[in-house]
Amino acid sequence: MTSIVHFKFQHPNYNGNANGFPNDIAVGILTSDVNVGGTIGLASAGSSFAGSKCIISGWGRTSGTSSIPNDLKYVEMNKITNSECTSRWGSSYIFNFHICVYESGKSACNGDSGGPMICNSGSQTVLAGITSWGATGCPGTRPSVYTRVSEYLNWINSIN
């Protein structure tokens, strides 16, 4: 399945030089529909996913020194609270616009940026986060940090 991005909308306040990479989100409008095998919604405001297992996926490296894989990789990980994420990263890096997952030995890696973090919300599957950043070398010793989609619903909906 292939589609081309017709328009790309990067958040106007994205800052790749600031701690935590604020507003690290973009929306792409495709030239044609793609079938993802079901309906995936956007996480609603206030969704915590406390105690949830979520799936992260991407085309990135599987270790800090590996080559880029030819096939999509995914792993199920524990969603952790922002308090726990802050205790592992420090308060200068984790903010309300973040959502984190962590399991020892697992992580997002170089090339996964922009990939999805999918969680269940009741009976619905939702996009909870977008891969933003993590530990250098992808050792799986710190949480993987995602942009929290529910913090950007107004901006996303303004694009239509």
pTM for the structure as a whole: 0.93
Q: Is residue 124 part of a domain?
A: yes
Q: Is residue 104 part of a domain?
A: yes
Tokens representing 146 are 């995602």
DSSP letter string, 120-132 = EETTEEEEEEEEE
CATH code at position 134 = 2.40.10.10
Task: Give the chain's domain count.
Answer: 1
Q: Is residue 42 part of a domain?
A: yes
User: The dihedral of CA 34, 55, 125, 96: what is its sign?
Assistant: negative
Tokens representing 122 are 């009741």
Mean pLDDT, 10 residues at a time, the chain of 160 residues: 88 95 96 84 90 94 89 95 94 94 96 96 93 95 97 93
Q: How many CB atoms lie within 10 A of CB 66?
A: 13
Q: Is residue 32 part of a domain?
A: no
Share of the chain above pLDDT 70, in %: 99
